Structure 1
Amino acid sequence: MTPKLIKLIALSAAGVLCSLCVMAQPRLPKGYFWKKLPNGLEVVVIENSKVPLATIEIAVKNGAYTEGPEYSGLSHLFEHMFFKANKDYPNQEKFLKRTQELGAIWNGTTNVERVNYYFTFDRDSLSAGLKFMNAAIRFPIYRAEDMAKERPVVDGEFQRAESSPYFQLYYETNKALWGDLITRKMPIGVHEIINTATPEKMMIIKDKYYFPNNSLLTICGDVKHEDAFKLAEAIYGDWANSGFNPHEKYPIPPFKPLAKSEAFVKESTIAQTPYMNFAWQGPAYKTDSAATVAADVFSYIVGLNSSKLQQALVDKGLASSASISYTTSYYTGAVTLFIVPNPNKLKECYDEAINQISQFAKPDYFTDEQMADAKGILLRSQARNMEKPSGLPSQLSFWWCSTSFDYGTDITDNYQKVTRADIAKYINTYITGKPSVAGLIINPETSKTTNAKTFFVAAK
């Protein structure tokens, strides 16, 4: 084969690959437009002219799941430091003054599998707002004096959480459920790590995860996608690609399956009302995306006032509330049955909760009508969520970080397709007969009078 022919074949192959890249458009709702910049930054523009505003958000695949013990809580601290000094606004006073000039509403959040930052302002400020975000995300300045002020703020959030009996139950449950990897499920962090954080540690986080190829920029509002894409490329196009996939270079360790069921009773004087929960290691989008959909539908079924769970616990006065939750996760997520029991019928409530759990997988545990009602609620909930333009970027970035664009686009339709067999498979795979963590937080006096530790034991 001649060199000329080899060159032609190579060029043809490159052209085919390029065509494939162009064609590899994700499925998105009507009015959503996607583009991937040469540096790897994904940009989505959502055209929504209901109000003359624009919201911009940058989401990063960072959060608790990227944190070993030595960095626990620092993704959250990093989020707080985002709103401090940067190259264009070298102190927080100038940063805040600029937000006022833009008339911006702004905030950020840190969760298990996502950190996001957003600004909402007048549509005419889109270019200025994108430049403002660019300075903060790419060129932060971690001043020691700023960190000295912000560490107590972040740690204060942790301390406020600890004053809640619900959080204490949640924390103890997570310790048992995730073992040595608990820091990868707890965005709030660890006091000592938060209070000793340094600018150098902030740079470590930035240099691991804050790259265009690990980020999503969403522009939503009264904008035109062609103009928004041009602005995004002009402002963010020279943001250097990391040259590596952060989640391949710094892999998330697998969450070990729970070996056996555990139970604990935590006595606390702040628990004037006892709380009880049961938790299982649930599905992961990475390995069982179908189960994540079935999990949502089942959670809504048992949340209905007519459900057997509600009738057995709430209607009969054994509890004031009972609910099952599962948060869609790329990696293993938790399924939790949370109950606020009647303190005077604590043992009866516990016994009935165990009885209900044993019946989850039975064909008659819910009716066809209840399943249809749950699907209807999910459908209406999604319709309501679509009504507020400023909330759309956050919804989208959640799917992007923990699942995929296609998953988020199809989720409402897929809820309607869930069958009894899908729900039975989910329950039998992750709940029925599977190791669980049962927790009860209760004040010492009630614990003594009820002998809670004698009956609140691990399921066999």
Structure 2
Amino acid sequence: MSKRNPSWRACATLIFVLSSALLPSIATAQRAELQKIIKQKVLPNGLEVIVVENHGVPLVTLEVDVKNGSFTQTPDYAGLAHLYEHMFFRANARYPMPDAFVARAGDLGSIYNASTREEVVNYFVTLPADSIREGIRLLASALKAPLFLQDELERERQVVIGEYDRNESSPGFVITQRMDSLLYPGNFSRKNVIGDRQVILSTTPAKMRSIQAKYYIPNNSAVIVAGDVNPDDVFRIVEQELGDWKLGPDPFVADPVPPIPPLTKNAEVIAEAPVGAVTVLIQWQGPSVGKDPAATYAADVFSDVLNDPQSRFQQRLADSGLWQGVLVNYYTLNHTGPITISGQTSSENFRAAMKALQDEIAKFDTPGYFDPDELTAVKAHRAVTSAFDRERASGFAHTLGFWWSVANLEYYMGYVDNMARQSVSDLRAYARKYIIGKPRVTGVLIHPDARRALGLTERDLAGGSN
């Protein structure tokens, strides 16, 4: 990571100053603005339909979000949520011939894709606004009647294994896999989106059908339509095309996702690879949005303050030259989101850099460590970026889909308001509850020669404590 330069800092400072001035108007206006452009309806079969009006260009993004993903995976299903995502675009009862679905998507002039994350799988098409009915019909065909043909499964299996191979070839793959297995004891499969190679290679159409029957039901899904549309027209079309999609049993009542057990002790991982810099990852179990939503807002402000180039944290670690770069992050999830501090340093600076980082972590609850003016600036910056996100219909659909699945739409609607309420005492309370003195997993990715020169062992990493 390149060293910060004065012009970059001046630019960042200007952005924060301007956004700070805008905070009161943006924070109070967000919910009102969202309520103007977002309309919701729940169909009799439980399908949630969310419509966002944006008449900037004559396009529309149609997105289906399903509460599926790695969090639903037992070890014998590890990676199959992602494989199912690939099969979605294959043969179904309406388009039974090979590549017929893809051909129809092309006829509509659409751009389509999908993604699998820990707690949501989404499928989306962007197409001309006058083709909305045909686009909904296309998605409906894949949702209601997939065929899971054996030859297509074989083909998509190899595509997914190709993705697995590319991930595995990355120097960071081993360390992140090992750290996740330690951070989530006994529940690694529920955080492992890419999955298990042998499970992917041995799966069957029957397993695909079991995922469909359990999770691909209307009362576990949402349709989000964003763009140049009329909400009433959208509600009518979606009900006509998906109103006969059969409601199913709530998958999380019959088979609830087990809670992630808390860490009871620190753990350490060292991975060797032919890398230049030394990469360090420190992770804690963070809040779950369903159990401690207040802490998730504090977590975002906390991370933003520490990532501000002018923060004490960055000045002590990055500006001192000990670290090439340091980043603090909390990933919001309903089932224990991780808190991560990641950074890169040189082998020569490694020990001094680690000591400096440990010293800073220990000060997170020190009076005066966080300045109220810093909070005002970063909260304003979040409000501004949230407002910009709404300008692009396709990106906004993805944002709404993620929050619908991980939390709920109300969480997103109140996000900026709740961010604005966070205080220095909230940040300190968050650090006490989730970071300072709490069990964590520390990982280091380092060149074998550098490790030998340092004589680095896991015990060395265990020596740092809050």
Tell me the TM-score normalized by structure 2: 0.91
Q: Specify the alignment match of 1:136 in structure 2.
A: 142
Mean alpha-carbon deviation: is it higher for 104-113 or for 152-161?
Answer: 152-161
The CA distance in 1 between the partners of 2:245 and 2:461, in whole Å, is: 55
Relative distance call for 1:439 and 1:227 in structure 2 (3 A) is same
The CA distance in 2 between the partners of 1:27 and 1:124, in whole Å, is: 26
Matches within 5 A, 1:50-449: 50-242=56-248, 244-269=249-274, 271-449=275-453
Q: Which amino acid aligns with 2:254?
A: K
Mean alpha-carbon deviation: is it higher for 145-154 or for 296-305?
Answer: 145-154
Q: Which amino acid aligns with 2:44?
A: P
**CA contact 1:438–1:458 (8 Å) conserved in 2:** no
Relative distance call for 1:398 and 1:27 in structure 2 (3 A) is farther
Name the SS of the counterpart of 2:451 in structure 1.
Answer: helix
Q: Which amino acid aligns with 2:256?
A: P
- Return the offset for 1:456: 2.2
1:226-273 C-alpha deviation (Å, 9 max, x unpaired): 11111111111111100x21111111011000011112222223x333
**CA contact 1:264–1:457 (8 Å) conserved in 2:** no
Q: Which amino acid aligns with 2:261?
A: K
Q: Specify the alignment match of 2:17 in structure 1.
A: none
Q: Specify the alignment match of 2:18 in structure 1.
A: none
- Return the offset for 1:47: 1.2
Mean alpha-carbon deviation: is it higher for 350-359 or for 208-217?
Answer: 350-359
**CA contact 2:389–2:395 (8 Å) conserved in 1:** yes
The CA distance in 1 between the partners of 2:99 and 2:107, in whole Å, is: 12
The CA distance in 2 between the partners of 1:346 and 1:324, in whole Å, is: 18
Q: Specify the alignment match of 2:12 in structure 1.
A: none
Name the SS of the counterpart of 1:316 in structure 2.
Answer: coil
Name the SS of the counterpart of 2:399 in structure 1.
Answer: helix
The CA distance in 2 between the partners of 1:379 and 1:452, in whole Å, is: 43
What is the aligned length?
433
**CA contact 2:53–2:230 (8 Å) conserved in 1:** yes
Mean alpha-carbon deviation: is it higher for 153-162 or for 128-137?
Answer: 153-162
The CA distance in 2 between the partners of 1:176 and 1:447, in whole Å, is: 22
1:397-452 C-alpha deviation (Å, 9 max, x unpaired): 11111111111001012111111111111111000110011110111101001122
Ranges in structure 2 where 5+ consecutive residues have no aligned partner: 1-31
- Return the offset for 1:67: 0.2
Relative distance call for 1:184 and 1:458 in structure 2 (3 A) is farther
The CA distance in 2 between the partners of 1:168 and 1:365, in whole Å, is: 35
Relative distance call for 1:458 and 1:74 in structure 2 (3 A) is farther
**CA contact 2:60–2:126 (8 Å) conserved in 1:** yes
Relative distance call for 1:92 and 1:382 in structure 2 (3 A) is farther
The CA distance in 2 between the partners of 1:273 and 1:69, in whole Å, is: 34
- Return the offset for 1:165: 2.2
Name the SS of the counterpart of 2:172 in structure 1.
Answer: helix
Q: Which amino acid aligns with 1:59?
A: D
Q: Which amino acid aligns with 2:255?
A: Y
1:54-80 C-alpha deviation (Å, 9 max, x unpaired): 111110000000001000000000001
- Return the offset for 1:28: 5.3
- Return the offset for 1:326: 0.9
- Return the offset for 1:53: 0.6
Q: Which amino acid aligns with 2:212?
A: K
Name the SS of the counterpart of 1:223 in structure 2.
Answer: coil
**CA contact 1:284–1:330 (8 Å) conserved in 2:** yes
The CA distance in 2 between the partners of 1:312 and 1:29, in whole Å, is: 43
Name the SS of the counterpart of 1:141 in structure 2.
Answer: coil
- Return the offset for 1:33: 0.8
Name the SS of the counterpart of 2:40 in structure 1.
Answer: strand
Name the SS of the counterpart of 2:222 in structure 1.
Answer: strand
The CA distance in 2 between the partners of 1:134 and 1:109, in whole Å, is: 18
The CA distance in 2 between the partners of 1:363 and 1:160, in whole Å, is: 46
1:166-211 C-alpha deviation (Å, 9 max, x unpaired): 3332212111111210110111101111111111110111111000
The CA distance in 1 between the partners of 2:157 and 2:318, in whole Å, is: 42
The CA distance in 2 between the partners of 1:311 and 1:406, in whole Å, is: 37
Q: Which amino acid aligns with 1:443?
A: H
Relative distance call for 1:93 and 1:47 in structure 2 (3 A) is same
Name the SS of the counterpart of 1:218 in structure 2.
Answer: strand
- Return the offset for 1:144: 0.9
Name the SS of the counterpart of 1:147 in structure 2.
Answer: helix
Q: Which amino acid aligns with 2:325?
A: S
The CA distance in 1 between the partners of 2:327 and 2:313, in whole Å, is: 9
**CA contact 2:119–2:405 (8 Å) conserved in 1:** yes
1:48-105 C-alpha deviation (Å, 9 max, x unpaired): 1011011111100000000010000000000011011111111342122111110111
Q: Which amino acid aligns with 2:427?
A: I
- Return the offset for 1:459: 4.0
Ranges in structure 1 where 5+ consecutive residues have no aligned partner: 1-25
Tell me the TM-score normalized by structure 1: 0.92
**CA contact 2:355–2:464 (8 Å) conserved in 1:** no
Mean alpha-carbon deviation: is it higher for 151-160 or for 69-78?
Answer: 151-160
**CA contact 2:372–2:423 (8 Å) conserved in 1:** no
Q: Which amino acid aligns with 1:437?
A: V
